[in-house]
Structure 1
Amino acid sequence: MELPLDYTTLRLIWWVLLGVLLIGFAVTDGYDLGVATLLPFVAKTDAERRLVINTIGPMWEGHQVWLVLGGGAIFAAWPFVYAISFSGFYLAMFVVLASLILRPVGFKYRSKRPGAAWRRNWDWALFVGGFVPALIFGVAVGNVLRGVPFDLDPMLRATYEGGLIGLLNPFGLLAGLISVAMLVMHGASWLVVKAEKGVVRDRAARFGSIAAIVTVILFVVAGIWVATLLPGYAITSDVVTDGPSNPLRKTVEVGAGAWLGNYGRHPWMVIAPLMAAAGAAVAAFGLAKKRNAMSLVSSGVSVAGVVATAGVSMFPFILPSSLNPDASLTVWDSSSSAGTLFFMLIMTAIFVPLILFYTAWVFKVLWGRVTTDEAQSPGSY
């Protein structure tokens, strides 16, 4: 059966959709992670901590759908990427999942007993559930930009030679710190919007404005590093965009600054890093002045810009290989079949609008500030 969309277009659409899903997760669940990271620092008493927790308690579970969709999209649309990344980063992903598991347990059990030690331990569990994923997600992106130590044999069987400790290299840690700073900024913006006026909101604004400034500084440092020192990847052979998925049918060269090539070929892509830096700068001002809408919108724009910057800088690469650059996985040679991509596109066109509608409805129903009295009422977190 002839499909209404050609293979090249389907591959490009799914690259864009993968970016949308990752940005959706970073923007929605990102402030949940940021609020959890801020919990021990912006809330000093039990009442203050319950206030903070209840700003995200009713909504965080719904945000997990973006993570599930992102993982499912990688599995179905980019099987090579799924197989290599999920096996190569296995221990890192295990740490992330173990940390994320602490969140539902912490939300459900924290206020079930009145003991100070009991609640304090769950507060730190929630902190771990926010800080560790924020850090490791950033470290993972930094390592993808550096190149992942895998290779493919002629039968397309993958081997991976890295380890968990190897991920904690200087550039990976820098990317991890950017991730933590931007999500703390985003979480603080959410608290400025959702928490009642008082000391918690004031502390969140102060920490958030600092995190926003740190985000801009670290993002600029990372940009200079990418431009001058970090090896980037570029395809040197003819690019076949509609051929079979075989990553070994191309040649790739590696050189410092190669990741900046896309900005010369497609100047419009500079919008992504501008969103990242300008959004964080505006968020810093908005948080310092406690401007609700300005803070939250601009921090969300910055988060989206940071994620998009990594994507457009690497295009068409999705998972470059540091062991054998020719085996790097790109948009054009690591996807599922055209039929699979088209069928999934139909399902996505049906269900993603439903998810967006449900998310918007939840925001509308739960909009408004959380007060200390509400946070301590029966049935709250």
Structure 2
Amino acid sequence: MFDYEILKFIWWILVGALLIGFAITDGMDMGVGSLLPFVAKTDAERRVAINTVGPHWDGNQVWLITAGGAIFAAWPAVYAAAFSGFYMAMLLVLFALFFRPVGFDYRSKLDSPKWRNAWDWGLFAGGAIPALIFGVAFGNLLQGVPFRLDELLRAHYQGSFIFALLPLLNPFALLAGLISLGMLVAHGAVWLQLRASGAVAARSRALAVRLSPVIAVLFAVAGVWVWLGIDGYRIVSQPPLDAMPNPLNKQVVVASGALLDIYTTMPIAILAPIVGLLGPLLTALLAKVERPGFAFVTSAFGMAGIIGTAGLSMFPFVMPSSLDPNSSLTVWDATSSHLTLNVMFWAVIIFLPIVLAYTVWCYWRMWGRVTAEEIDARSHSAY
């Protein structure tokens, strides 16, 4: 059995890996949905685009469900506080995601152009809205969330429940939302260049070449913004790292430059923002020279770098409190018990390789470019 402190850190890595896995796999599907009305002009072209992700999207979305379950089991205090404060945002994401299964399954049930066009825009909403909201959520986490914990560790938020979304839409959070949306759309464009054919692949290539450098620029702007204008949180005192979790047993201060502490104490962490910057630039170059397979890999690394930069900059905080910094939730004091973390760890060790092997097998069996002729030949099973 691992030490409690080590298990807390392992689960921070595992939750981060789940979020990155979700961005790479289901983010690709969301990107394709966001692009559907723009890179595919005719019904045949849209069916080509949809069929590049249709067989896999539901399996990919399991990464999101698993990440939510892991947060609930490993960080119950974070799950409770986050789903309370971000309740309206989560509902908006949930309602947008409803369009995906219905859109994929119902779009081709009728030949009516109006029917199909309506579901195409539904798939657009199901991809673009969650991508934007996820980035906005990360932008708010970096700045701190206006909540406090009472003596019973219940989270209390500042502001109205009805207008709970408005404080989340601050300038830095919107920039983070644009980065999130942009990187998922570019990732979807590279996937379409790799798997689609004809005009859809050509338009997607052009979009990937233009959009990827924009992501790098926006990410750089966010980094400068953090460096110049956003205060972070720093722990002044806390119990031993293997102590039983109690978020109120520590002292936290707001400090200028605290979001950059990790890069001083652990210089190797600078690799994350470097990869986050270089990934989109290499993606644009590789997409331009018709190497979509390599471009997909560099796009995935770029997303991992961007998400990793956010996580590392906040470490050890998971959900800092701007209202009462001492109520902030960290890797060390918002976790489940030692036994729970240990049992879940071994479950991951056993089942994750099985899930990954099955996922790879599914992609391998259904690999190849999707063409309009292929869809017509198997119209009974194509989307």
Normalising by structure 1, report the TM-score: 0.97
Amino acid at match of 1:192: Q
Say which of 146, 149, 157 aligns to 1:149. 146
1:177-256 to 2 correspondence within 5 Å?
177-196=178-197, 198-238=198-238, 240-256=240-256
Three-state SS of the structure 2 residue aligned to 1:248 is: coil
- Tell me how far apart the structure 2 counterparts of residues 297 and 149 of structure 1 sit (CA, whole Å): 37
Shift of 1:378: 2.5
The CA deviation string for residues 240-292 of structure 1, in whole angstroms up to 9 with x for no partner, is: 21111111111111123210010000011111111111111000111222212
Amino acid at match of 1:378: H
The CA deviation string for residues 140-164 of structure 1, in whole angstroms up to 9 with x for no partner, is: 0001101011101122121012411
- Tell me how far apart the structure 2 counterparts of residues 102 and 311 of structure 1 sit (CA, whole Å): 30
Say which of 108, 112, 116 aligns to 1:115. 112
Say which of 21, 24, 33 aligns to 2:21. 24
The 1:186/1:239 distance shift into structure 2, 3 A limit, reads farther
- Tell me how far apart the structure 1 counterparts of residues 120 and 375 of structure 2 sit (CA, whole Å): 15
Amino acid at match of 1:273: P
- Tell me how far apart the structure 1 counterparts of residues 274 and 355 of structure 2 sit (CA, whole Å): 29
Shift of 1:239: 5.4
1:60-71 to 2 correspondence within 5 Å?
60-71=57-68
- Matched residue, 1:380: 382
Instruction: Verify the 8 A CA contact 2:139 2:173 in the aligned structure 1.
Output: yes
Residue 14 (str. 1) matches residue 11 (str. 2) = yes
Stretch moving more, 85-94 or 152-161 = 152-161
Say which of 114, 122, 127 aligns to 1:125. 122
- Tell me how far apart the structure 2 counterparts of residues 366 and 143 of structure 1 sit (CA, whole Å): 39
Three-state SS of the structure 1 residue aligned to 2:248 is: helix
Shift of 1:304: 1.0
Amino acid at match of 2:71: I
Three-state SS of the structure 1 residue aligned to 2:156 is: strand
The CA deviation string for residues 220-243 of structure 1, in whole angstroms up to 9 with x for no partner, is: 000001111012111111452111
- Matched residue, 2:46: 49
- Matched residue, 1:328: 328
Instruction: Verify the 8 A CA contact 2:15 2:67 in the aligned structure 1.
Output: yes
Amino acid at match of 2:178: L
Shift of 1:18: 0.5
1:67-86 to 2 correspondence within 5 Å?
67-86=64-83
Amino acid at match of 2:264: G
Instruction: Verify the 8 A CA contact 1:51 1:195 in the aligned structure 2.
Output: yes
- Tell me how far apart the structure 2 counterparts of residues 256 and 204 of structure 1 sit (CA, whole Å): 42
- Tell me how far apart the structure 1 counterparts of residues 173 and 375 of structure 2 sit (CA, whole Å): 38
Structure 1 residues without counterparts, runs of 5 or longer:
none
- Tell me how far apart the structure 2 counterparts of residues 211 and 175 of structure 1 sit (CA, whole Å): 16
The CA deviation string for residues 307-327 of structure 1, in whole angstroms up to 9 with x for no partner, is: 111111111000000000111
Amino acid at match of 2:360: A
Normalising by structure 2, report the TM-score: 0.97
Amino acid at match of 2:175: L
- Tell me how far apart the structure 1 counterparts of residues 235 and 288 of structure 2 sit (CA, whole Å): 45
Shift of 1:349: 1.1
Instruction: Verify the 8 A CA contact 1:232 1:254 in the aligned structure 2.
Output: yes
- Tell me how far apart the structure 2 counterparts of residues 19 and 315 of structure 1 sit (CA, whole Å): 12
Shift of 1:353: 1.0
Give the fraction of aligned pairs with identical amino acids, expressed as a percent. Answer: 54
Instruction: Verify the 8 A CA contact 1:282 1:294 in the aligned structure 2.
Output: no
- Tell me how far apart the structure 2 counterparts of residues 20 and 274 of structure 1 sit (CA, whole Å): 18
Three-state SS of the structure 1 residue aligned to 2:255 is: strand
Residue 94 (str. 1) matches residue 95 (str. 2) = no
Moved >3 Å (runs of 4+) = none
Amino acid at match of 1:255: A
- Matched residue, 1:274: 274
The CA deviation string for residues 193-216 of structure 1, in whole angstroms up to 9 with x for no partner, is: 1012x2111110111122201100
Residue 315 (str. 1) matches residue 312 (str. 2) = no
- Tell me how far apart the structure 1 counterparts of residues 175 and 307 of structure 2 sit (CA, whole Å): 15
- Tell me how far apart the structure 2 counterparts of residues 51 and 372 of structure 1 sit (CA, whole Å): 6
- Tell me how far apart the structure 2 counterparts of residues 270 and 351 of structure 1 sit (CA, whole Å): 32
- Tell me how far apart the structure 1 counterparts of residues 311 and 319 of structure 2 sit (CA, whole Å): 11
- Tell me how far apart the structure 2 counterparts of residues 309 and 145 of structure 1 sit (CA, whole Å): 11
- Tell me how far apart the structure 1 counterparts of residues 47 and 173 of structure 2 sit (CA, whole Å): 34
- Tell me how far apart the structure 1 counterparts of residues 249 and 210 of structure 2 sit (CA, whole Å): 47
What RMSD over aligned residues (CA atoms) do the two structures have, in Å?
A: 1.0
- Matched residue, 1:168: 169
Stretch moving more, 134-143 or 205-214 = 205-214
Instruction: Verify the 8 A CA contact 2:238 2:249 in the aligned structure 1.
Output: no
- Tell me how far apart the structure 1 counterparts of residues 34 and 288 of structure 2 sit (CA, whole Å): 19
Three-state SS of the structure 2 residue aligned to 1:253 is: strand
- Tell me how far apart the structure 2 counterparts of residues 285 and 73 of structure 1 sit (CA, whole Å): 36
Shift of 1:61: 0.5
Stretch moving more, 160-169 or 316-325 = 160-169
- Matched residue, 2:358: 358
Instruction: Verify the 8 A CA contact 1:151 1:327 in the aligned structure 2.
Output: yes
